[in-house]
Amino acid sequence: MSLLNRLESLKGRHASLEERISDEDHRPRPDSDALMRLKLEKLRLKEEMHRLQLSEGEH
């Protein structure tokens, strides 16, 4: 998988997580554990995208 394809895939997953977080947060009784897991996963994806963008700039 090319670097650009990988970045696009991560961006899609990041957007999906953002939507899931919003959905959970707007429920009458949000599950705080689920929100925390989703937010941590979103942060991991953001960090991975940042690393890939940095390595892309090195080429």
The percentage of the chain sitting over the pLDDT mark of 70, rounded to a whole number, equals 95
Domains of the chain, residue spans:
3-58
- Please give the pLDDT value at position 39: 97
pTM of the model: 0.85
* Contact status, residue 21 vs residue 42, Cβ threshold 8 Å: yes
Tell me the two tokens of residue 30: 């949000």
Average pLDDT, the chain: 93
State mean pLDDT over 18-44. Answer: 97
- Please give the pLDDT value at position 50: 95
- Please give the pLDDT value at position 59: 60
